[in-house]
Amino acid sequence: MGCALYADRPADSGRNWWALAALVFFANAPDLDFIPGLLAGDPHLMHRTATHSLFSPVVVAALAGLAFWWRGRQAALEAARLVFFGVLSHIVLDYFCAPSPAEGPALFWPFLPTRFAASPSVFPLLSWNHILSWGNVVGVIGEAAIVSIFLLVAFMRRSLNGLKAAEEPASSFPMAEAGE
């Protein structure tokens, strides 16, 4: 999804591989919550709690904005925006892909520990308990297909916007060129 978000940026943004890397990283970063669980012997111990709450993209984006403040207000806002949408995209996808509410993200953690999931789930065969299950293989293929659709739409939209920009006159105020 990070690639799709990157492709949906305005065509005049130019190619910025740091932005692509940031979007891909932050679109996957919420799943880093597996690490403390792995160290404790239970990979799901903290999964889909703090890093999957709706507060997470706000907090992480604010930290990214502060980290880039030294480069100026515009750079800080751009960094915060990229990080916010990267993290949020992961949470939204997990909401729609969780096989049951018990396995969905805790959207309002720490204030409400309740987990949420779309009903019906886009991928009801996913298994929380068996990582190498057929349902998870189908889920990975399905998620890749859905994200590919988003990516294709983003690239098509970017291409069409680029064509429109090439067809438009150099100035959007033709009267100003005539001296009026």
Reported as a single tens digit per residue, the pLDDT across 2-19 is 888 887 776 666 678 888
Residue 45 has what pLDDT? 86
Task: Tell me the average pLDDT of the chain.
Answer: 82
pLDDT of 135 > 80? The answer is no
pLDDT of 39 > 80? The answer is yes
Residue 124 has what pLDDT? 66
Residues 6+ apart with CB under 8 A from 143: 93, 97, 123
**Selected residue with higher pLDDT from 41 and 176:** 41
Q: How far apart are CA 153 and CA 71, in angstroms?
A: 32
**pTM for the complete prediction?**
0.74
pLDDT of 122 > 50? The answer is yes
Q: Which of 23-27, 120-124, 174-178 has the highest mean pLDDT?
A: 23-27
Burial class (CB in 10 A: 0-12, 13-18, 19+), 161: middle
Residue 173 has what pLDDT? 42
